């Protein structure tokens, strides 16, 4: 398998690691969309959220808690941050290995219009 995120998780490709454990790795995005832009990638290869199964629920929860930890470590927990997961081509996914984006460090604005 030549998945770049799998290769990063195995240490075959260098990345600026923010945190890691036996389940996931978090590293700086090489094309940041905000002053803080960290990717959280499970070590287990899942193409995207649609490929996740019930047994992946704990792993997905760990990813969200890692997003919180990244925000704290990078000093963006207050005033706030965004967590995004794209799924599929129409969802904007570019690397087909499930991952979260943690974005912050500036006002990001609304995704959807206010009601």
What's this model's pTM, rounded to 2 decimal places? 0.93
The superfamily in CATH containing domain 4-98 is HIT-like (3.30.428.10)
d(CA 93, CA 85): 8
| Active-site annotation holder among 37, 97, 99, 101 | 99
Q: ∠ CA(44), CA(53), CA(16), 5° rounding?
A: 30
Structure confidence by residue, pLDDT tens digits, 43-94: 999 999 999 999 999 999 999 999 999 999 999 999 999 999 999 999 999 9
Going by the DSSP 8-state scheme, the letter that residue 83 receives in this structure is: E
101 in active site: no
Sketch the domain layout of the chain as residue ranges: 4-98
Q: Residue 81: which residues within 8 A CB-CB, separation 6 or more?
A: 36, 67, 71, 102, 103, 104
């Amino acid at each position: 398998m030549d998945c770049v995120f799998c290769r990063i998780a195995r240490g075959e490709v260098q990345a600026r690691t923010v945190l890691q454990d036996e389940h996931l790795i978090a590293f700086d995005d090489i094309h940041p969309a905000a002053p803080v832009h960290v990717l959280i990638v499970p070590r287990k290869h899942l193409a995207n959220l649609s490929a996740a199964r019930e047994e992946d629920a704990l792993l997905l929860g760990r990813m969200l808690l890692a997003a919180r930890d990244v925000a704290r470590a990078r000093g963006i927990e207050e005033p706030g941050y965004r967590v995004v997961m794209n799924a599929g081509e129409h969802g904007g996914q570019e690397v087909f290995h499930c991952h979260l984006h943690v974005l912050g460090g500036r006002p990001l604005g609304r995704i959807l219009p206010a009601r």
